[in-house]
Amino acid sequence: MKSSAKIAVTRQAPAYLDRIPEAEAAIRRTADRLTQPRVAVLACLMSLDHAASHFDVAQALAKHHPIDRVTVYRVLEWLVEVEIAHRIAGDDRVWRFMINDPTASIAPHHQHAHFTCNTCGQTFCLDDVPNKLNFRLPFGFKPSAVDLKFRGRCLHCA
């Protein structure tokens, strides 16, 4: 005997789709063009609590907003240029991108510390860790940046 009941398959929409209106508003504030790739990439970054590589972003967008990898990278670079996001160099020499927190205690273009999980490899921004170090460089040396990175296990992996 065949059952007439059908199994309902539910597909959950990606979390970044909820962030599209917020992404559109942020891009409009830049006075630059509002494009579908910019909105999709920014919404994707806004939905994450950790830094994401170019590959991570392209993969997250592949199903609902397929964008070629060059366009994804150009959008990520543009987001850094307009100070909506910043990039972090990973130990694997891959740039990871993260949205700047407008409520952080420091301006988005200032440096801040990061935490990289030894288990899952995700990188998180630590906006509340002071990035002022008292040190003396040799005469004539002028620093352009200070990178402060903590390592350990994140809350999810601990």
Q: Structural domain of residue 48, as residue ranges?
A: 15-152
Q: Is residue 26 part of a domain?
A: yes
Q: Is residue 128 part of a domain?
A: yes
Looking at residue 132, its pLDDT comes to 62
End-to-end C-alpha distance for the chain, whole angstroms: 50
Confidence of residue 131 (pLDDT cuts 50, 70, 90): low
Does the pLDDT value for residue 10 go beyond 50?
A: no
Q: Is residue 157 part of a domain?
A: no
Dist CA 117 CA 21 (whole Å): 31
Higher-pLDDT residue of 37, 108? 37
If one counts the domains in the chain, the total is: 1
Dist CA 90 CA 42 (whole Å): 20
Q: Is residue 9 part of a domain?
A: no
Contacts 24+ apart (CB under 8 A), 31-36: 32/78, 32/82, 36/65
Q: Which helix (H) or strand (E) is 96 found in, with range?
A: strand 95-99
Does the pLDDT value for residue 67 go beyond 60?
A: yes
The whole-number average pLDDT for the span 127-142 is 75
CATH code where residue 75 lies: 1.10.10.10
Q: Is residue 138 part of a domain?
A: yes
Q: Is residue 116 part of a domain?
A: yes
Q: Is residue 2 part of a domain?
A: no
Dist CA 98 CA 123 (whole Å): 9
Looking at residue 49, its pLDDT comes to 85
Looking at residue 63, its pLDDT comes to 87
